[in-house]
Amino acid sequence: MTTLDDLLNPRSIAIVGASDDPTRIGGRPLSHMIRQRFEGAVHPVNPSRETVQGLRAYPSLAEIEGDVDFVLVAVPAASVCGVVRQAAAKRAKTVMVLSSGFAEMGGDGIALQDELCALARETGVRVVGPNCLGAFNAAMRFFPTFTSTIDRARPEPGGISIASQSGAYGSHIYMVSHLRGLGIGYWMTTGNEADLHVAEVIKLYAEREDVHTIMAYAESIKDGPMLIEALEGARANRIPVIFMKVGRSAVGAEAASSHTASLAGEDAIYDAVLRQYGAYRARSTEEMLDIAYACRPRIYPAGKRLGVVTISGGAGVLIADAAEDYGLDVAPMPEDMQAELKALLPFASARNPVDVTAQFFNDLTLIPRFTRAMLDRGGYDGLIGFWTSVAGSPLLADKLLGHLTETMSHYENRLFLHCLLAPEEVRKRYEDAGFPCFEDATRTVAVMAALMFFGQAFAWRGGDLLAVPDPVEFPDGPLSERGAKEILQAAGLPMVDDVLVTTASHAASTATLMDGPVAMKIVSPDIAHKTEIGGVMLGVEGADAAEAAFHHIMANAVTAMPLAQIDGVLISPMVSGGIECIVGAKIDPVFGPMVMFGLGGILTEVLKDVAFRRAPFGPAVAREMIDGLKGAAVLKGARGTPPADLDALADAISKLSLFAAANADRLESVEMNPLRALPDRCLALDALIVKKRN
Q: 284 or 502: whose CB is closer to a copy of itself?
A: 284
In angstroms, the CA 36 to CA 29 distance is 10
- Does residue 1 bind a copy of itself (CB under 8 A)? no
Contact 649, 581 (CB under 8 A): yes
The residue among 459 and 602 lying less far from a copy of itself, judged by its C-beta, is 602
Q: Which residues contact 345 (CB under 8 A, 6 or more apart)?
A: 356, 357, 359, 366
Q: Binding to a copy of itself (CB under 8 A): which residues in 195-224?
A: 217, 219
Backbone angles phi, psi at 189, to 5 degrees: -110, 140
DSSP string of 124-157?
--EEE-SS--BEEETTTTB--B--SHHHHS----
3-class SS shares of the chain: helix, strand, coil, % to 5? 40, 20, 40
Q: Are residues 658 and 594 in contact, defined by beta-carbon separation less than 8 angstroms? A: no
User: Does residue 142 contact residue 10 with C-beta atoms inside 8 Å?
Assistant: yes
In the complex, what is the shortest distance from the CB of residue 246 to a copy of itself, in angstroms, rounded to a whole number? 5
Q: Per-residue x/- marks for a copy of itself, 511-550, CB under 8 A?
A: ----------------------------------------
Residue closer to a copy of itself, measured from CB, 126 or 259:
259
Query: Least separation, in Å, of the C-beta of 358 and a copy of itself?
Result: 7
Q: Which of 9, 31, 6, 8 is nearest to 18 (CA)?
A: 31
State how far the Cα of 631 lies from the Cα of 669, in Å rounded to an integer.
25
Contacts of 313 (CB under 8 A, 6+ apart): 349, 353, 355, 357
State which residue, 79 or 148, has the beta carbon closest to a copy of itself.
148
Which window, 88-96, 257-265, 489-497, 649-657, contacts a copy of itself (CB under 8 A)?
Answer: 257-265
Minimum CB–partner distance for residue 23 and a copy of itself (Å): 9
- Nearest Cα residue to 144 out of 166, 129, 159: 129
What is the footprint of a copy of itself within residues 35-74 (CB under 8 A)? none
Residues contacting 118, CB < 8 A, separation 6+ = none
Please, which of residues 6-35 interact with a copy of itself by CB under 8 A? none
Minimum CB distance to a copy of itself, residue 390 (Å): 8
319: how many CB neighbours lie within 10 A of its CB?
25
Total number of residues shown for the chain: 694
**Contact status: 330 vs a copy of itself (CB under 8 A):** yes
- Least distance CB 167 / a copy of itself (angstroms): 8
- Residue span 633-672 as binding mask against a copy of itself, x where in contact by CB under 8 A, dash where not: xx---xx---------------------------------
Least distance (Å) between residue 460 CB and a copy of itself: 27
Contact between residue 278 and residue 234 where contact means Cβ atoms under 8 Å apart: yes
Q: What is the Cβ-side half-sphere exposure of residue 130, based on CA atoms within 13 angstroms?
A: 30
The backbone torsions φ and ψ at residue 436, rounded to the nearest 5 degrees and listed phi first, read: -65, 145
Q: Could you say whether residue 349 binds a copy of itself (CB under 8 A)? A: yes
Pick one of 244, 451, 527, 566: the residue that binds a copy of itself (CB under 8 A): 244
Distance, in Å, from the CA atom of 468 to the CA atom of 471, rounded to the nearest integer, reads 9
- For the chain, how big is the Rg over CA atoms in Å? 31
Site size for a copy of itself (CB under 8 A):
82
Give the number of other CB atoms < 10 A from CB of residue 284.
Answer: 10
Tell me which residues in 612-631 interact with a copy of itself (CB under 8 A). 630-631
- Residue 405, interface with a copy of itself (CB under 8 A)? no
Region from 83-91, 111-119, 256-264, 541-549 binding a copy of itself, contact rule CB under 8 A = 256-264
**Least spacing, CB of residue 219 vs a copy of itself, in Å:** 6
Tell me if residue 71 falls in helix, strand or coil: strand
Q: Which of 60, 237, 359, 388 binds a copy of itself (CB under 8 A)?
A: 388
4 vs 599 by CB, closer to a copy of itself: 599
Closest approach of Cβ 660 to a copy of itself, in Å?
27
Minimum separation from the CB atom of position 604 to a copy of itself (A): 10
Q: How far is the CB of 673 from a copy of itself (least distance, A)?
A: 15
Q: What is the distance between the alpha carbons of residues 159 and 176, in angstroms, rounded to a whole number?
A: 16
State in angstroms the smallest separation of the CB of 312 from a copy of itself.
3
* Residues numbered 140-199 forming contacts with a copy of itself, rule: CB under 8 A: 148-149, 152-153, 164-166, 168-172, 175-176, 179
CB-wise, 602 or 620, nearer to a copy of itself?
Answer: 602
CB of 630 to a copy of itself, least distance (A): 6
Nearer of residues 355 and 651 to a copy of itself, judged by Cβ: 355
Question: Binders of a copy of itself among 75-114, rule CB under 8 A?
Answer: none
Positions in 274-303 near a copy of itself (CB under 8 A): 283-287
**Could you give the CA distance from residue 570 to residue 545 in angstroms, rounded to a whole number?**
15
Q: Are 286 and 280 in contact (CB under 8 A)?
A: no
Instruction: For the segment 584-613, give every residue that binds a copy of itself (CB under 8 A).
Output: 599, 601-603, 605-607, 609
- In single-letter form, the type of residue at position 441 comes to A
Residues between 310 and 329 with contacts to a copy of itself, criterion CB under 8 A: 311-318, 320-325
Query: Sign of the C-alpha dihedral, residues 247, 253, 258, 263?
Result: positive
Q: Phi/psi at 223 (nearest 5 deg)?
A: -120, 90
